[in-house]
Each structure stands twice: as structure tokens, then as C-alpha cells.
Amino acid sequence: NPVIPELWSVPHLLPIHPGKFWCFCRMVYMPMAYIYGKKFVGPITPTILALRDELYNKPYSEINWNMARSSCAKEDLVYPPSRMQNIVLACLHKFVEPMLSWWPFNKLRKSALSSLMDHIHYEDENSNYVGLCPINKVLNMICCWIEDPNSYAFKRHLPRIHDFLWISEDGMKAKVYVGCQSWETSLIAQAFCSTKLAKEFAPVLRKAHGFLKAAQVTQNFPTYNSYYRERSKGAWTLSNGENGWPIADTTAEAIKALLLLSKYSPSLVGDPIEEQRLYDAVDCLLSYVNKDGTLSSAECKRTTPWVELC
């Protein structure tokens, strides 16, 4: 189905603007829209031909791609698309997408792709090329390769692939996130404190304390509002702080762990965190409270519930 990049060019006031999508959806939509809009096709190598044989249950040349556009295994169809969504996607596929390849409409595509690549580079640079998750990380890497296979951005992407891979008993696995170090360390520290065994495990708690202080995000990203991001100063990410994406749950647990550790002697667990940094953490946590009183996990609500009906 079409993933049109021009959707990023609609007025931001509209509830369907991708800037109002939840971060995981938005960050995956960006590179997918770029790749789709580019209509990029890589070189057909023996590896590509082998993958086609492996992935599809019929010869690649015999696949009806128009029919395949809406086909999905029953096990994977968790939330069937609505009738309105099917109508919109069909119109985009049959009428809008062909029209956008003609002059002067193709100028809209060129502008949209340029804007998307700017957003992709912003995400890469501010997440140290780890990304929000492995899906957008790999897709962003492909976009950088499409733009320039010899670019600095693509070269920075390559070594960060290993952050998501690990070897288990039955072969290589890929993680669904770069890690959950801050989350687990906060809960482990709280568990130790609740057992009143801090003295027995002082070296462990000292390391945990040091890690949590080092993992806090201490600055907001530059011009973050222009890239549909929210404040991050004072927050903790799910991992080690490197990708810069604040998570409300992790921030709350880290605050609790640090407050518990502050009750112990610095000679046991190390010096407590600076008060201002705790104030920043609370401010950041409160910024994720929505107008209806609910607390978001990664970003505040940005659009209306009726969008789901579409």
C-alpha cells in the first residue's frame, strides 16, 4: 500500500499529519515513505534472487502485486483495516500515486523527500545512529545508503548494527530495542534497598548508582519542536541514555531508585545525584501528563481518538 511522503507536507493542524503520530509509528513511517517515494530498486544480485526464492511461496515473476497489496495472513491480521481505510488506500494507489509522478506534481514529491531526509538525519545524529528501535534504525540506514552509499551517515550506521545482535544457543538473534539497562538497573537497585542488604551489596549498588547518574539525559535536543520531538532534559531512556529517547516509566523508576540510594552513606553507594538533576527529571516526567490527566509513555497525545476510526 502507498506510504506517500507528501503526507508530511499537509498543514500541521490536520490530525492526520505524521508529526502527530506516536513516535514509534512516526519514526518507521519516515524512512518507509522515503524509500517508497524514491521508488528505489537496488541491483539484482545472486543474493537478492536467492532471497526471493526463500521468501515467497511462488515464483517472484508470477506474483500479482496488486492483489498482494492487501493480502495478509490471518495470524498477523490483528487489527483489520476499516472500509474507509481500504477506500483511501485504493484511491492513493490507483489515482494519487500515478499523478504525483507527473510534472508539476512531482515537484511536491521532491520537496517532501528532501524534508524527510532532513528529519532522518536529525534522528540519526541525535540518537548516535542507534535510532528509536531496530526497525527505524535499519530503514534509516537504507535511506542513507540510497542517498549516498559512501556518505558519512551510512558509515556511522554500519557499526551500530551490532548493538542489536546477539548469539544464543540456537543462533543469531535481534533485539527489539537497543537495551533496557536503565529500566532494569533502577528496579534492581530498588529491590536491593527493599531487602535492607545495602551494606552486603554496597559495591553493586555503587556501580548501579554511578550508571544511573551517567545515563540521565541532561540536555534537550536542538530545535526539537521543529522535528516533532518533546523535551528530554532530565529523563532516562529505556537503555543507557545514548539514543536520547525519554521514557516516562523508566524516568519514574530511576527517580525512585536514586531517592532510595540517597538515604545511604556516600561511602557505601557513592555521592547522591545533584538536586537540580532530580528537579529536571520531575519536570520532564510532569511534561508527559496529558490534558485528560493520563500519563504517556514516550510522548504526549497529539491527535484525537476519532482518527482510529479511519
Length of the chain: 310
Name beta bridge partners: 289: 295
In-domain check, residue 239: yes
| Segments of the chain with pLDDT less than 70 | 308-310
Residue 241, sorted as left (phi over 0), alpha (psi -120 to 50) or beta, turns out to be left
The reply to whether 190 falls in a domain is yes
Please give the pLDDT value at position 309: 66
Q: If you search the block for the grid coordinates 544480485, which residue do you land on?
A: 45
**159 and 24 belong to one structural domain:** yes
Q: How confident is the model at residue 14, as a pLDDT?
A: 87
In this structure, are 203 and 305 located in the same domain?
yes
Question: Of the candidates 178, 146, 149, 262, which has an alpha carbon nearest to the alpha carbon of residue 212?
Answer: 262
| This prediction's pTM | 0.91
Q: Are 31 and 139 in contact (CB under 8 A)?
A: yes
Which of 165, 190, 219 delimits the end of a domain?
Answer: 165
Shared-domain flag, residues 185 and 245: yes
148 and 13 together in one domain: yes
Q: For position 138, what pLDDT does the model report?
A: 96
DSSP one-letter string for 9-34: GS-TTSTT-GGGS-HHHHHHHHHHHH
Q: Give the separation between CA 21 and CA 206, rounded to whole angstroms.
A: 40
71 found inside a domain: no
Residues 125, 23, single domain; the answer is yes
Number of domains, the chain:
2
Q: Tell whether 142 and 118 lie within a shared domain.
A: yes
Whole-number pLDDT of residue 123 = 96
Long-range CB pairs of 4-7 (<8 Å, 24+ gap) are: 4/33, 4/36, 4/37, 4/92, 4/96, 4/97, 4/100, 5/33, 5/34, 5/36, 5/37, 5/109, 5/112, 5/113, 5/116, 6/37, 6/100, 6/108, 6/109, 6/112, 7/33
Residues 297 and 196 in one domain: yes
Calpha distance 120→114 (Å, rounded): 10
At 137 the pLDDT is: 96
Looking at residue 67, what is its pLDDT?
A: 84
| Cα 209 from Cα 166, distance rounded (Å) | 27
Q: What is the Cα–Cα distance from 146 to 225, expressed in whole angstroms?
A: 27
C-alpha cell at 240: 543507557
Shared domain check, 142 and 113:
yes
Same domain, 102 and 131: yes
Q: Do 278 and 146 belong to one domain?
A: no
- Look at residue 310 in the predicted model and tell me its pLDDT: 62
Domain-located, residue 175: no
C-beta of residue 233 within 8 angstroms of C-beta of residue 227: no
Mind listing the pLDDT tens digit for each residue in 123-153?
Answer: 999 999 999 999 999 999 999 999 999 999 9
Evaluate whether residue 70 is within a structural domain.
no
Identify the domain boundary among 165, 191, 219: 165
First-to-final CA distance of the chain: 15
The domain containing residue 270 runs over which residues? Answer: 181-309
Residues assigned a catalytic role: 249
CA distance 37 to 116: 10
Query: Which of these three, 165, 199, 228, is where a domain ends?
Result: 165
Does residue 60 lie in a domain region? Answer: no
Query: 32 with 3: CB under 8 angstroms?
Result: yes
